[in-house]
Chain A
Amino acid sequence: MESVLFYTFATLVVTTALLVIFSNHPAYSVLYLVLTMFGLASLYVMLHAYFVAAIQLMVYAGAILVLFLFVIMLLNLEREGEESFRSGPSRWLALPLTLVFLVELYTVVMQIHIKGSKGLSVEGNTESLGHLLFTQHLLPFEIISFVLLAAILGTTILSKRNWK
């Protein structure tokens, strides 16, 4: 039962992720991305990481992608030109390299035995997550606030129109 569910969601994630890349209209790409995020959230649920799953849905599917959609609709982006990304000599190099990478990935994954981590909380409740964030991972957590600061500073500066 569990593996059936896993493969269903995994297929959903992979196919929608491919569709994100291959759709010609940016709005379609975003909608497929919503589905990808949904599939990922389901995978988190199967890992018993309920809180992460909820956050994944709320933040990514709920907030960020809706913002993406707004921007795309406001900018009124047209269907992108066929030749924009998908031409040039580099594509002939990209294909064999990707194949080599996939073959390598396959051989590696086939012989892997993930032992997982028992130390970390897999129950996914907020209490254990918060406990980890404020003890073991306190410093990365604090540094992330500076990453956010840099991002806010950047968006303000790069997008503000009339600067005094």
Chain B
Amino acid sequence: MMNFISLLHPFSLEIGLAIIILGLFFLDLFSVQAKKNIGSWAWGLTFLLLLIHLSNWKHFVSALSSTYVHDALSFLLSVFFLITLLFILAMSKSYRHRFERGHSEFYMLILLASLGMITLASTTDFLLLFVSLELITVSFYVMNTYLRTDPKSIEAGLKYLVLGALSSGFLLYGISFIYGLSGSTHFSDIARYASSPEANAKVLLFGFLLVMVGVGFKMGSVPFHFWIPDVYEGAPTPATAFLSVGSKAAGFFILIRLTNIFFPHFQNAWVLLFTLLSAITLIYGNLGAIPQKNIKRFLGYSSIGHAGYLLMGFAAGSTQGLHAVLYYLFSYLFTNLCAFWVVILFSKATESDEIADYAGLSKRSPFLAATLFIALMSLAGVPPLAGFFGKFLLIRAVVEKNLIWLAVLGALNVVVSLYYYLMIVKKMYIDEPQNPETIPLDPSSKIGLSIAIAGIIGLGIFQAPLLQWIESAVKSIL
């Protein structure tokens, strides 16, 4: 039955998500009872969609003159986005008291952004890529401004709007160069043009660099990172968490698809570009995180640092590099969402995002403190956890390409990051709390956090299944 539905239509996932969005609109309009539980509805339906999608395993098609493909890679990426979506929907529930109005609309915006991410996962055409990116960005414009009486949230929304529009402009300009040269927006046509003798490599490279501005904005790599600290601090925390995982991953996924087209034709420029970007991003993110006082700003800088690690995989430019990037993103998904969830639960009880207020958290809520401890250690890359194996794969990929200095820089940054992550751990475990009240936790958040922890530890210990899956996915696009 399940497979029958998917055979009927190659777009079952996208249409399913669209139906959920529109259905929730109607529920919200007509049923007062459902309006209160719209978050649970959204979560349940998305979970059902994930199950149906997983049952379609190995059912790959391409549609619309192959501008839209369901290959092993897009399957992997859509599962990534669906898991992210489930986490974000669940954690938004703990944050809804902060919204004076529009509770259900926030869930719909999250779903709309995810729809953009899921179409992005399967696109092999610049036109659809741009439209999907716009869907993501427009939803985030609104989500970032959602606390509209809070000046910080307005600042976050405005900064994201202005810089997002600018980067979209660059992206579009780059696409127009590539289109003008090759006469097509389709990735395979562009690849064919790039390997033909008449190809103008210089202009193609210029177009690619402009595209990289738009993608770099999404990834939050250094010359395009200026929005990150302010937006991460001002936006509602679930939106920040979504930005740091979903939107960032979207940028890296685009780059994975583009690697095939562009990497073979200007390897030297590619390697130079990504080693430099990676090195600057690593240093900036990790040094910037040290003096931060606000936990969301802190995680913002740390996310810049992680973009630096991820770029190492592209600097290597090898299949091993791509495997490492994908593995790292999966470990980053569980780790970062776990950290942000703790931030949400903590701010729900204390109305504070200041790092100073985390003092003595282990006495106020041992569970939250332990969870944040594991998440931070995984972010830093401490051995049995997922973050370690991701970093290990990335550094190995870089060493294989003889970029020893980049590997050393990456390792040094692990030490720096360990320092600032441990500062927070010290606050939580050694310092005395100013307010010894215990922090209440609802059972659903406990379950969610436990799943995230299970993901962090599971990916750290049993790497093989995910790694095999990633290898087969990367093979499908080569």
Instruction: Tell me which of A5-13, A26-34, A40-48, A110-118 binds B.
Output: A110-118
B142 touches A146 (CB 8 A): no
Instruction: Tell me which of B74-82, B128-136, B246-254, B424-432 binds A.
Output: B128-136
A147 touches B134 (CB 8 A): yes
Instruction: Give the distance to chain B from A138, nearest Cβ to Cβ, in Å.
Output: 6
B68 touches A139 (CB 8 A): yes
A62 contacts B by Cβ under 8 Å: no
B127 touches A111 (CB 8 A): no
Contacts of A94 in B (CB 8 A): none
Instruction: Give the distance to chain A from B373, nearest Cβ to Cβ, in Å.
Output: 37
B266 contacts A by Cβ under 8 Å: no
Q: In the complex, which range does the number of interface residues on chain B fall in?
A: 35 or more
Q: How far apart sit A104 and B209, CA to CA, in the bound complex (Å)? A: 11
Give chain B's interface secondary structure class.
helix
Those of B193-211 within 8 Å (CB) of chain A: 200, 202-203, 206
Contacts of B148 in A (CB 8 A): 158
Q: Which of B100, B135, B141 contacts A163 (CB 8 A)?
A: B100
A139 touches B67 (CB 8 A): yes
B410 contacts A by Cβ under 8 Å: no
Q: Which of A104, A113, A138, A150 contacts B139 (CB 8 A)?
A: A150
Those of B105-125 within 8 Å (CB) of chain A: 105, 108-109, 112-113, 115-116, 119, 125
B183 touches A117 (CB 8 A): yes
Q: Which of B130, B177, B183 contacts A119 (CB 8 A)?
A: B183
A81 contacts B by Cβ under 8 Å: no
Q: How many residues of A contact B (CB 8 A)?
A: 30
Q: How far apart sit A132 and B234, CA to CA, in the bound complex (Å)? A: 42
Contacts of B18 in A (CB 8 A): 146
B112 touches A104 (CB 8 A): no
Q: How far apart sit A147 and B116, CA to CA, in the bound complex (Å)? A: 9
A131 contacts B by Cβ under 8 Å: no
A71 contacts B by Cβ under 8 Å: no
Q: How far apart sit A90 and B177, CA to CA, in the bound complex (Å)? A: 28
B46 contacts A by Cβ under 8 Å: no
Task: State the total of A-B contacts with C-beta under 8 angstroms.
Answer: 92
Give chain A's interface secondary structure class.
helix
Those of B134-178 within 8 Å (CB) of chain A: 134-135, 138-139, 141-142, 145-146, 148, 177
Contacts of A111 in B (CB 8 A): 200, 202-203
Q: Which of A108, A140, A151, A157 contacts B203 (CB 8 A)?
A: A108
Which of A113, A139, A143, A150 is packed against the most chain B CB atoms within 10 Å? A150
A149 touches B200 (CB 8 A): no
Q: Answer whether A158 and B184 are a contact pair too, CB < 8 Å, given A111-B200, A140-B127.
A: no
A149 touches B112 (CB 8 A): yes
Residues of chain B having any CB pair with chain A under 8 Å: 18, 21, 64-65, 67-68, 100-102, 105, 108-109, 112-113, 115-116, 119, 125, 127-128, 130-132, 134-135, 138-139, 141-142, 145-146, 148, 177, 179-181, 183-184, 200, 202-203, 206
Residues of chain A having any CB pair with chain B under 8 Å: 104-105, 108, 111-119, 136-140, 143-144, 146-147, 149-151, 153-154, 157-158, 163-164
Nearest 6 pairs of A and B residues by beta carbon? A154-B142, A163-B101, A117-B183, A140-B131, A108-B206, A114-B180
